[in-house]
Homo-oligomer: A and B are copies of this chain.
Amino acid sequence: MAVVTSTVPLSGTVEQAEVARRADAFVEELSQWLRIPSISADPGYHGDVARSAAWLEATLRRDGWPTVEVWSDTEALPAVYAHWPAADPDAPTVLVYGHHDVQPADLSDGWSFEPFHPRVVGEELRGRGASDDKGHIAMVLLGVRAHLAATGAAAPAVSLKLLVEGEEESGSAHLAELLAAHADALACDEIVVTDTGMVDREVPTVCTGMRGMVDLEVVFHGASVDLHSGQFGGAVPNPVTELATLVAAFHDDAGRVAVPGFYDDVREPTAREREAWAALPFDEPAWLAGSAAGATATAGEAGWSTYERLWARPTAEVNGLHGGYAGPGHKTIVPHRASLKMTFRLVADQDPARIKALVERFVSERIPAGIDAEVSTGGPGVPPLICDLDSDLVASIREAMGIALGAEVLPAREGGSGPEALLSTELRAPLAFLGVMLPGDRIHAPDERAVLPLLLAGAEAVAHLWRLQGERAR
C-alpha cells in the first residue's frame, strides 16, 4: 500500500500525530475489510455479511474493547456491538452508530475495476464501502486509538458504545427489533452517527438534519385489456392520461406540493441557518455537471436556494410512472393500466402518518369515473430528524472537526433519509453526525472512493471529540 501523505492542513495536535503514525496500517486494515462483499440486499452475500461482522469483531478485540459482541439473535443480519466504559463512572455514554453492509456492486454496473478489489489511487482509496460506511467505521476505530494514545489513559474519556448494523443498505428493516431486544446494552446519553458527509472538501460542514420519507404507490385500471385507440379512443378513460394528470396535480406552478395541509407542520430553517447555508460556496454549473450527473438546470420550489430545497423543503418525487406500450414503433391502444411510484421527502416537523393521510385523501379525491384505483402508502415511513444546533453535542463536534480540518465547521443538512430518527426516539437520546463523505464519493454508484486525508482528519476529529466531551462532563 502507498504511504498516505496529507493534503489537508495539519493541526499539529497530539491526536493528529497519533493518527498519522497509524495511517498506513489503517489503509491496509480498511482494504482488508473492503475485500469482503457484505451486500445485505442479496441473500447470496449474507455469508459475507457475517464474515464482515466477524472481521470487525476481531479488530475491536485486538484494539482492546472490553465488550465485543456479534448480535444474531433477531431477524436482523449480524450487527456488531462493543462497549468501552470510561474510568469515571459519571462520564457520559456516547453511542456511535454505523453499518458494515454495503450497496450491491458489480463490474458490469460500470465500475472501472473489481469493486471488491480495493486500490489506492493518489490520495483516494477506491472500492465498494470505502466511504459508505466501512471507511467511516474504520475512521472511528482509528480515532479511538489516537484518543487513547494521546491521553495515555487505559480507557476513553467518555464511555463508548458502538452499534454497527448489517442491513442499513437494505432499509434497516429490523433495526427497531434490534434496538428493542438490546435496549439495556444500548442505553446512552448521546448518539453520534458516522454515515454522513460534508458539502465540499474545502468547506467543512456538519450534518444537522435529514429528511424523512413516505412512499406512495398508485395503480389505475381501466378496461381489462388494452383497447384499440381507433375503436375506443376518445370515449373511454385512458388510465395513463388520468394518472399523468394526477401526477401533474401534485405541484402548483411555483413548484410547491399542492396537497392541502402538506406544509402545515414544516419548520422553516432559522435565519441563522439560512445565513450559514447562503455562506456555503455553491458552484451551480460544477454541481450540475458533477454531483447531479449532467443535469442541465436546477429546478424546484420557488423562493428557495438549492441547498434549502434539498435540506429544508419537503418534496413529492415521482420514482416511476409506467403504462401502455414501450416497444419500437407505435401500438395504437388505449392502455388498460398505469402504475405510479412516488416518494415524499419530509422535513421537521412533518409527521409521516399525517402526510400519508393527506396524500391518500388527495389521491382518493382525484380518481376519475371509470378508473379503479389501488392506492398504497406502504409502511410507517421515516420521520425527519433535526439536530439541536445549540446542544453541547453539536458544539463539540463542530469544535473537534474544526481543529482537525483547520476551519470553521458550518451547519448543513442532508436531503436523504435514514434510521436516525428511529435511533434517537427509541434510545431517548439526542443525536448528531460526524462524517467526512464528499458528494463526489460516488456512494451507491460505481467507483466508490474515500479521500484518505479526509478520513484521517475525521479520525482525528473523533479523537478530539471524546476528549472534548470528557472535559465538558467534568
Q: How far is the CA of A352 from the CA of B51 in the complex (A)?
A: 66
Interface assignment of A6: CB less than 8 Å from any CB of chain B: no
Asked whether, in the complex, the Cβ of B317 is within 8 Å of the Cβ of A231, the reply is: no
Asked whether, in the complex, the Cβ of A370 is within 8 Å of the Cβ of B231, the reply is: no
Interface assignment of A228: CB less than 8 Å from any CB of chain B: yes
Interface assignment of A330: CB less than 8 Å from any CB of chain B: yes
What chain B residues lie within 8 Å of A223 (beta carbons)? 292-295
Interface assignment of A241: CB less than 8 Å from any CB of chain B: yes
Asked whether, in the complex, the Cβ of A345 is within 8 Å of the Cβ of B230, the reply is: yes
Task: Select from chain B the residue with minimum beta-carbon distance to A330.
Answer: B215
Asked whether, in the complex, the Cβ of B238 is within 8 Å of the Cβ of A317, the reply is: yes
Partner of A339, one of B224, B300, B326: B326
Asked whether, in the complex, the Cβ of B232 is within 8 Å of the Cβ of A241, the reply is: no
Interface assignment of A74: CB less than 8 Å from any CB of chain B: no
Q: Which residues of A212-242 are within 8 A (CB) of B?
A: 213, 215, 222-225, 227-238, 240-241
Interface assignment of A422: CB less than 8 Å from any CB of chain B: no
Interface assignment of A40: CB less than 8 Å from any CB of chain B: no
Interface assignment of A89: CB less than 8 Å from any CB of chain B: no
What chain B residues lie within 8 Å of A370 (beta carbons)? 295-299
Partner of A345, one of B234, B295, B309, B369: B234
Q: Mark A330-374, 1 if CB is under 8 A from B, else 0.
A: 111111101101010100000000000000000000001111100
**Interface-facing stretch out of A147-155, A409-417, A453-461:** A409-417
Interface assignment of A67: CB less than 8 Å from any CB of chain B: no
Q: How far is the CA of A339 from the CA of B244 in the complex (A)?
A: 12
Interface assignment of A315: CB less than 8 Å from any CB of chain B: yes
Given A247-B241, A247-B244, A369 contacting B297 (CB threshold 8 A): yes
Given A247-B241, A299-B369, A320 contacting B324 (CB threshold 8 A): yes
Closest beta carbon of chain B to A350's beta carbon, Å: 14
Interface assignment of A306: CB less than 8 Å from any CB of chain B: yes
Majority secondary structure of chain A interface residues (helix, strand, loop or mixed): loop
Partner of A335, one of B314, B319, B324: B319
Of the candidates A210, A320, A345, A378, the one having the most CB atoms from chain B within 10 angstroms of its own CB is: A320
Given A295-B222, A299-B368, A319 contacting B229 (CB threshold 8 A): yes
Given A223-B293, A293-B224, A345-B234, A318 contacting B299 (CB threshold 8 A): no
Q: How far is the CA of A444 from the CA of B313 in the complex (A)?
A: 50
Asked whether, in the complex, the Cβ of A321 is within 8 Å of the Cβ of B416, the reply is: no
Interface assignment of A322: CB less than 8 Å from any CB of chain B: yes
Interface residues on A, range: 35 or more
What chain B residues lie within 8 Å of A227 (beta carbons)? 292-293, 295
What chain B residues lie within 8 Å of A464 (beta carbons)? none
Q: How far is the CA of A411 from the CA of B291 in the complex (A)?
A: 63
Interface assignment of A13: CB less than 8 Å from any CB of chain B: no
Q: How far is the CA of A151 from the CA of B414 in the complex (A)?
A: 89
Q: Which residues of A251-290 are within 8 A (CB) of B?
A: 251, 288
Task: Select from chain B the residue with minimum beta-carbon distance to A416.
Answer: B230
Interface assignment of A126: CB less than 8 Å from any CB of chain B: no
Q: How far is the CA of A415 from the CA of B332 in the complex (A)?
A: 12
What chain B residues lie within 8 Å of A338 (beta carbons)? 321
Q: How far is the CA of A227 from the CA of B295 in the complex (A)?
A: 10
Task: Select from chain B the residue with minimum beta-carbon distance to A368.
Answer: B299
Interface assignment of A49: CB less than 8 Å from any CB of chain B: no
Given A299-B236, A320-B331, A230 contacting B325 (CB threshold 8 A): no
What chain B residues lie within 8 Å of A378 (beta carbons)? 330
What chain B residues lie within 8 Å of A224 (beta carbons)? 293-294
What chain B residues lie within 8 Å of A291 (beta carbons)? 231-232
Q: Mark A13-51, 1 if CB is under 8 A from B, else 0.
A: 000000000000000000000000000000000000000
Task: Select from chain B the residue with minimum beta-carbon distance to A327.
Answer: B320
Q: Mark A394-405, 1 if CB is under 8 A from B, else 0.
A: 000000000000
Q: How far is the CA of A248 from the CA of B258 in the complex (A)?
A: 16
Given A222-B295, A335-B318, A415 contacting B233 (CB threshold 8 A): yes
Some 13 contacts from A to B, beta carbons below 8 A apart, are A224-B293, A228-B444, A230-B417, A232-B292, A237-B299, A244-B321, A248-B248, A296-B371, A299-B368, A320-B331, A321-B324, A322-B326, A330-B343
